[in-house]
Amino acid sequence: MRATVGLRLTLTALLLVLIGLPAAGAAGSLVTVEHDQTYSTAAVNEMAARLFNGRRTPEARFTVDVFIIRYESTDLQEQPTLVTAQLFVPRYDSHAERPVYIFAPGTTGLTDQCRPLREHQIGINWGLYRNHVLAHAGQGAIGMIPEYMHFGDPDRLQPYFIAEAEARVLLDAIRAVRNYFREQPRSSDYPSAVRPAGAFLAGFSQGGHAAFAAADRNGRYAPDVRIAGIIGYGPTTSVESLFREFSVVAPSVIYVYARYYGSDRFDPGKMLADRWLENLAHDVRRLCILGLQSYYPWRPGPLFRPEFNDALLNRRLAENYPEIAHILRKNSTGLGGHRVPALILQGSNDVVVNLDDQSEFVVALRGGGSPVRYLIYPDTPHDTRQIGFDEVIRWMEAQTVTQENR
C-alpha cells in the first residue's frame, strides 16, 4: 500500500476524485499525493545503470523518495482536468535549494495503456523515463515526470503534439512542484530539507516539442511561472519536419488533429495512402510506440499519398495544402520569442529529427532572443540523454548561479 502524504482534499474534491472527475481549484493545485517508493543510492545506481547501458553511470549521492501526485490543469475545452506526475525528492539533511528538473517524455502512444507511468510497472522500455529522472535526483535535483493530458483517463486520448495541451501540462507542473513544497507537512514521514530553486523544462523528442511549447505560451497561460531554462534532447519542434523524417508517428498526429480541428480542415484522406487509412482509428489506438515502429513505414513515401508526399518533400504544403500546413505550423514550437535560455543536445546520426533541420531551428531560436548552447554529438543517435548527462547538470548549475546574480 502506498502511503498518502500531505493529502489536502475538501469533501467536494474527495467526492470528485472518487467518481473520476477533477476537483475544482487553481491550475497547478494538488489533488492527491501518494508516496510510491524510496530508492537508496544503490537502488538509484541500479536503475541508472540500465539506462546508461555500458556508459559510465553517475554515482548517486542521495536517497530519493518518489511520489505519485495528481494536480489540476485546464484542458482544451477550458475545463479542469487532472494530470498525473511522478515527483522525485532527494533526501537532504540540511537546507538546500536545488534546481527543479521537469522532464517531458518522448512518444509512448495515444491511449492509457501507453501512459509513461506504466513503463516501469510492466517492465517495458519505451525510454526508461523513471530511470532517467532518478539519475538526476540522485545527483540532488528535484525531479518530475508529468504525464501528458488525459493519460490516466481510459476514455480519452492524449492530445498528441497539440502544443497548447502540452504547454498547459508543463506550466502547471511547475506550479504543482511549488505547491508541493509549500504544503508539505514538516512532520512528513519522508523528510527532506531540499527546496526548489529555478525550474527547468527538459524533454526528449516529443518532450522537447512540449518544453518549447510551454516557453512559447508562458506569458499568456502562466504569467506567474518562471522557466529557468529549456533542455532539449533531440527536440522535435517542427511537426512538418517530423512527417518528413520520422513518418512512424505521423498517423497518430493525423488522427488526433482530425478529431480536434475537424476532418474538413485536417483530412486524413488527403494525406494517408489507402492501406493505412482504412483502419487508422483502430491502429493508432491499439499500438504504443514500439508497435508503431514495427507497423508503420519509417519513411514518408510508402505512408502518404503520392501527391501529398511530393508536396511534403518539396516543401510545398503551404501552396498545395494551405489549411493542413497552417495547422502544422500552429503546432510547431519554440519560436514564439520567449527568450528563455536553451540547451539543445543533438546526435549527428538522429533519424527522427534531421541535423540540418535542428541547426536551422537553433539559428531561428537565437534570432528570437534566446541564448542557446547547441551541442552536436558525432556518431550518436536520437537519444542524447546519456551522453549529455554531465553537461546538463553543469548547464543547470550555471544558469541557476547566473540568474541568482541578476
Q: What is the pLDDT of residue 14?
A: 46
The more confident residue out of 306 and 18 is 306
Residue 2 confidence (pLDDT) = 47
Q: Which residues contact 361 (CB under 8 A, 6 or more apart)?
A: 235, 237, 238, 334, 335
According to the model, what pLDDT value does residue 136 have?
Answer: 98
Residue 275 has pLDDT above 60, yes or no: yes
23 backbone dihedrals φ, ψ, rounded to 5°: -75, 145
Is residue 374 helix, strand or coil?
strand
Q: Evaluate whether 303 touches 296 at the Cβ level (below 8 Å).
A: yes
Which residue type sits at 97?
Answer: E
Q: What is the pTM of this model?
A: 0.93
Q: 71: buried, middle or exposed (CB in 10 Å: 19+, 13-18, 0-12)?
A: buried
- The residue with cell 512559447 is 216
All structural domains of the chain with their residue ranges: 3-238+342-404, 246-330
CA distance 234 to 245: 13
Give pLDDT, residue 4.
45
Longest dimension (CA), the chain: 65
Which of 96, 316, 80, 332 minimizes the C-alpha distance to 192?
A: 96
C-alpha cell at 9: 482534499
**Amino acid sitting at position 47:** M
pLDDT single digits (tens) 94-104 = 999 999 999 99
Q: What is the pLDDT of residue 20?
A: 46
pLDDT at 395: 98
Q: Closest by alpha carbon to 217, among 330, 136, 301?
A: 330
Please state the three-class secondary structure of 56-113 as a single string: CCCCCCCCEEEEEEEEEEECCCCCEEEEEEEEEEECCCCCEEEEEEEEECCCCECCHH
Fold entry, domain 3-238+342-404: Rossmann fold (3.40.50)
Record the cell numbers describing residue 92, joined without a space: 537532504
Query: Using one digit for the tens of pLDDT, what is the confidence trace for 278-335?
Result: 999 999 999 999 999 999 999 999 999 999 999 999 999 999 999 999 999 999 999 9
Min mean pLDDT across 180-184, 253-257, 332-336, 364-368 is at 180-184
Residue with cell 498525473: 84
pLDDT for res 78: 96
- Distant-in-sequence, close-in-space partners of 241: CB < 8 Å, separation ≥ 6: 353, 354, 357
pLDDT for 54 equals 86
With a cut of 60, say whether residue 13 has pLDDT above it: no
The rounded percent of the chain whose pLDDT value lies above 70 is: 92
Task: Judge if 3-238+342-404 and 246-330 fold alike in CATH terms.
Answer: no
* Residue 56, pLDDT above cutoff 50: yes
Average pLDDT, the chain: 93
Residue 185: what pLDDT? Answer: 66
Domain at 246-330: CATH code: 1.10.260
pLDDT at residue 128 is higher than 60: yes
Lookup: cell for 102: 521537469
C-alpha 406, offset from chain centre: 29
> What is the structure's pLDDT at 1?
35
Q: What is the DSSP string of 180-248?
A: HHHH--TT-SS---EEEEEEEEEEETHHHHHHHHHHHHHHHH-TT--EEEEEEES----HHHHHHH-GG
Question: Each residue of 364-383: pLDDT tens digit?
Answer: 999 999 999 999 999 999 99
- From 20-24, 32-36, 212-216, 293-297, the region with the lowest mean pLDDT: 20-24
What's the mean pLDDT in 216-223? 97
